[in-house]
Amino acid sequence: MNQHISVEQSLQKGRNFILEGKPHQAYSIFYHAIDRLRTQDSEELPSELLSFYGLTVAMVGGSRKEGLRLCQKAVETELPKAEFFLNLGKVYCLCKQKQKAFNAYKQGLKINPGHPEILSEINCLGERRTPFFNLLPRKHFLNQCSGILLDRHLKTFLVKIHSKIKSFKNGIGFSFI
């Protein structure tokens, strides 16, 4: 590895590896950049480097908790970037914390309202329906059971309606019973 590569070059290379779906290579790039900065007795690591290193630690380094800590540290800087919230949201998704991921993405959109990657990640999360018993928490047993039942019955109902509409279009006629 070239010891004279700058932090900016490391960030660019690491980002490219992430976009190419090569998180292990990105992790290696960011790890060596941080290691170089620590040996140079840098007082503070760049927030951008912390954010991306945190994302790759969560993806391949085995410690989602550490990745989360690094990404949170990056967004707590004076001038956080939308990308920091994007990375934090991705780590929350890896930790199966959708609501926190969604909130992180919303924070990122406050900084850059048209950020395409954040908008794409929000679309991937999907929209959640209002809980059936809205006075109870979403995770309450009754809300979870009713959500599962409604989901199953709604799909069955829609399949039946679709087949009835199809048969009607074919001139067969239909009834809902």
- Per-residue pLDDT at 176 exceeds 60: no
- Identify the residue with better confidence: 3 or 45: 45
CB 7 within 8 A of CB 51: no
From residue 59, how far is each of 18, 29, 103, 104, 136 by CA, in Å? 10, 14, 20, 18, 34
> Hey, what CATH topology would domain 7-128 get?
1.25.40
Report pLDDT digits (tens) over 12-42. 999 999 999 999 999 999 999 998 888 876 6
- Per-residue pLDDT at 131 exceeds 70: yes
